[in-house]
Structure 1
Amino acid sequence: MSQAVPPLLSDHPSRALVDEKFSVLVENLPPGCPVTIRSLYQSEDKDFWEAYGHYVSNHKGTVSVSEDISLGGTYTGKEAMGLLWSMRPIPGSRKGLRLRKKDTCALMLVTISVYSGHEDVRDQAPLASALVERWYMAPGVQRIKITDKGVRGTLFLPPGPGPFPAMLDLWGGGGGLQEYRAALLACRGFTSWLWNLMVLSDRITPAVCFVQTAFEIIRSHPQVIPDRVGIIGLSYGTLMTLSLAAECPTIKPSCIVCIGNVHSKLVEDKVGNIDCPMLLINGTDDQNWPTVEVASDIIKTMREAGKESLVTRLDYPDAGHLIEPPFSPHFRVANFMLHGTKKKVMMLWGGKTKPHADAQEDSWKKILSFLQLHLYDAPSLKAKL
């Protein structure tokens, strides 16, 4: 491609939180010009991830990712954020990778480039490029490591004087401290406290005691409104969420959110004790747990207890188990370390990429609205970069 004025690629905003959309515009192309727009990101594990769409410039010589249709690539159609949610490891990468942010204080720097044509562009020089900064922590959010009463975790405080409503964030069986959801919740005005569930015993009852301690820690924090504390859990974390809400009479969460519900007969028999609003989120193509059936069992028990009105259920067609914050890449299969044995296996999570991406975007909006309704009286705090 040879022309007097070189192509120009711009993104807006070039700096934003990871749950916010951005637009990509390419200008100064010849009319009807086939181009490929590609995103490239190097993870903290030094693996490269990419996504790309094939476009044709309009009569003005421009391509807008948010307004124009991708004719092929890792996504098709009019997809403003396809350059993020359809990311996958570049050819030749290690098998079973899963993209998760480890350092929430560090930015996610994505390179967006435009190339000539619709063929493999990896060996081409780009016509133009731009950088997009994606952040998990807004200015003013504080990240604090806490060890208290034998419990270790990370606390995220929203900007401002406080106190704030709060969420106890419980993850699944993979272990470790996955901070990115808690960091985003703090950006949206909720103090968030997370810790590693998998340091506990495999038995439910002793584990609940530790979760109860964690709940009491966040409830007693000076930056937390003590009667406005909720719990959010994913996978195994839902088991602990339901257990705490159902079995501990001194712990009364204001609301609970369960994503990818895990079954337990012990918990199922006691779910009817729960007296707070609950949001159940599941993918119908979950290949890890029968989460849709578990949700039905929970609703049945709540109905028998005369509390069905407390339950809001979201079932997403063709979404898998790992429903995470919006625009996160989808992983149908990924490496997983079995708790206890430390054996690495390939875990089948399920889901189809586009429906799963839609589920993540929609469920995040509904989670924030649910928390706003049950933890805040005033309009939600919105942190902007």
Structure 2
Amino acid sequence: MLQCIRYFFGLPPNTTVTIHAKCKVQKSGYECLAHYMTNHDGSVDLSQDKSIGGFYNGVEAMGFIWAMRPSLEKKVRSCFNVLKYWYTVFSFFCDVHYKSDLSQPTLAYPHLSIYCHMPNPVRIEIKQKGLRGTLFIPSGKGPFPGVITMVGGVAGTLEFKAALFASNGIAAFALAFFGIEGLQENLFALDMAYFERAVNFMLSHEDVNAPNGIGVVGSCKGAQIAYSMADCLSGIRCVVSSNGAPFALHNDHYHREKVWPCVSFKPYIFNDASLYSSAGGYIMRSLPDLPKDDNDPELGRSLFNFHKRLHVSYLVLTSLDDNNIPSEYFANLVERLLKFAGHPSYKIMRYPGAGHLLDPPYSAFCRVANFALINTITDFGGSTLQHSRAQEHSWNKILSFLHFHLNSASICLSNM
């Protein structure tokens, strides 16, 4: 999936040097510092040599990316480009200095590039049948297994997961569901008819092979929608849920005559200074008024009956240090429901030390960010190393899960 130059040469031999990696993605700058002892030939090989200090320690070939932190610099010399043929390129500029003194003359100034490969893909902006989003079709001879990807409370859509799925042989539709032209402006209520059109669009697409249905991959609000889709829509074969509620939360869902009223939440939380973390953001996981127990009438009205759809397989990813929502509570509830229903095909993955935003591997760790939907600086939780490990492990699990279930001829399979 990722290719990167990670070898430095021409440095003073047997000398402590500091690699200072810097990157800018859209308007945000990130940087990483790592100290290495050069080899006898004046080289540093990140895939073999140990970092002896800085933002990470030990042999970490991609550490200079996943250990990045928000930069304090106003300007960062780097770029983010999407080139023709839709190769996504992240460009990193690295200063190499004696020891840890960044004021010393630069010893080397290599330019590193990471390529998220999708050779000759088809990228299609979708603006038809009321749908909005971007469809990625893999290169090569199709048709291919298909998925719909959805993010959380972000207006429009983010394409990176869909693009990476396509680079791994899966046709992926990055679906927007609010906040852009042609869609509702807010998330006060969600009509599942919109998502039904998206499923039917994928099922009927000539480049999608889905005799038993498609997959749905959702994060946060997108995961909540995925559970709802599994409950009330046909054509769903499997679901990947990442840190999302299995019931209507923050907004109602409805499908024809059926309504799932949302579980209430406490907006006054933003006046509680005790919930402002040392990381510099609000810890919002206590925002929902969670049901007292599984027999709570409010939960019964809001709960999606996804667990009764025995032909749908589930992979549930849970960050145990999620400060944004009570992900562990959600995962435990999902597991109880699936066990009670005697569901034959599910897996719950729990990740200690991981924060809310489980992205593909080697993404820079994002602990605090402005949650534009509610105009609040949010602490998403997690620790850098454990979060990085969780992203790498979960991504491999996601790809294996999707290929296994979407390429299988059988309707339902036992637990993975």
Query: TM-score range with shorter-chain normalisation?
Result: 0.7 to 0.9
Equivalent positions of 1:1-385 (< 5 A) are 19-20=1-2, 22=4, 24-45=6-27, 47-93=28-74, 105=86, 107-119=89-101, 121=102, 123-198=103-178, 199-200=183-184, 202=187, 206-227=190-211, 228-248=213-233, 251-264=234-247, 265=299, 266=301, 268-275=303-310, 276-307=312-343, 309-338=344-373, 344-376=375-407
Q: Would you say how many aligned residue pairs link Structure 1 and Structure 2?
A: 344
2-side partners of 1:358 and 1:101: how far apart?
24
**Which letter maps to 2:197?**
T
Checking the alignment, whether the CA contact within 8 Å between 1:101 and 1:180 is kept in structure 2 is no
Checking the alignment, whether the CA contact within 8 Å between 2:145 and 2:171 is kept in structure 1 is yes
Counterpart secondary structure, 2:53: coil
Checking the alignment, whether the CA contact within 8 Å between 1:136 and 1:184 is kept in structure 2 is yes
Counterpart secondary structure, 1:224: coil
Compute the displacement of 1:56 (Å). 1.1
Partner of 2:278: none
Give the fraction of aligned pairs with identical amino acids, expressed as a percent. 32
**Which letter maps to 2:143?**
P
2-side partners of 1:169 and 1:134: how far apart?
23
**Which letter maps to 1:177?**
T
Compute the displacement of 1:64 (Å). 1.8
2-side partners of 1:93 and 1:278: how far apart?
44
232-241 vs 74-83, which deviates more?
Answer: 74-83
Checking the alignment, whether the CA contact within 8 Å between 2:4 and 2:115 is kept in structure 1 is no
Q: 1:122-171 deviations in whole A, cap 9, x for unaligned?
A: x4442223222223452211110112211111110100131110110111
Partner of 1:97: none
Q: 1:258-281 deviations in whole A, cap 9, x for unaligned?
A: 011225235535132222111000
Q: 1:72-104 deviations in whole A, cap 9, x for unaligned?
A: 22222221111111122322459xxxxx97958
2-side partners of 1:368 and 1:57: how far apart?
37
Partner of 2:413: none
251-260 vs 134-143, which deviates more?
Answer: 134-143
Counterpart secondary structure, 1:230: strand
**Which letter maps to 2:238?**
C
Checking the alignment, whether the CA contact within 8 Å between 1:271 and 1:298 is kept in structure 2 is no
Checking the alignment, whether the CA contact within 8 Å between 2:320 and 2:350 is kept in structure 1 is yes
2-side partners of 1:34 and 1:155: how far apart?
47
Larger RCO of the pair (alpha carbons < 8 Å, separation 6+): 1
Q: 1:219-245 deviations in whole A, cap 9, x for unaligned?
A: 111111132411000000011100011
Checking the alignment, whether the CA contact within 8 Å between 1:268 and 1:301 is kept in structure 2 is no
Q: 1:324–1:243: structure 2 CA closer, same or farther, 3 Å change rule?
A: same
**Which letter maps to 2:99?**
G
**Which letter maps to 2:322?**
D
2-side partners of 1:144 and 1:182: how far apart?
12
Q: 1:188–1:172: structure 2 CA closer, same or farther, 3 Å change rule?
A: same
TM-score (ref. length: structure 2): 0.77
**Gapped runs of 5+ residues in structure 1?**
1-18, 95-99, 379-385
Checking the alignment, whether the CA contact within 8 Å between 1:55 and 1:69 is kept in structure 2 is yes
Q: 1:345–1:203: structure 2 CA closer, same or farther, 3 Å change rule?
A: closer
TM-score (ref. length: structure 1): 0.83
Q: 1:100-132 deviations in whole A, cap 9, x for unaligned?
A: 97958452222234222222x1x4442223222
Checking the alignment, whether the CA contact within 8 Å between 1:268 and 1:297 is kept in structure 2 is no
Q: 1:93–1:319: structure 2 CA closer, same or farther, 3 Å change rule?
A: farther
Compute the displacement of 1:295 (Å). 1.0
Checking the alignment, whether the CA contact within 8 Å between 2:313 and 2:346 is kept in structure 1 is yes
Counterpart secondary structure, 1:53: strand
**Which letter maps to 2:325?**
W
2-side partners of 1:183 and 1:161: how far apart?
17
**Which letter maps to 2:357?**
L
Checking the alignment, whether the CA contact within 8 Å between 2:4 and 2:114 is kept in structure 1 is no
Counterpart secondary structure, 1:129: coil
**Which letter maps to 2:217?**
I
2-side partners of 1:366 and 1:64: how far apart?
28
**Which letter maps to 2:42?**
G
1-side partners of 2:61 and 2:144: how far apart?
33
Counterpart secondary structure, 1:255: strand
**Gapped runs of 5+ residues in structure 2?**
248-298, 410-416
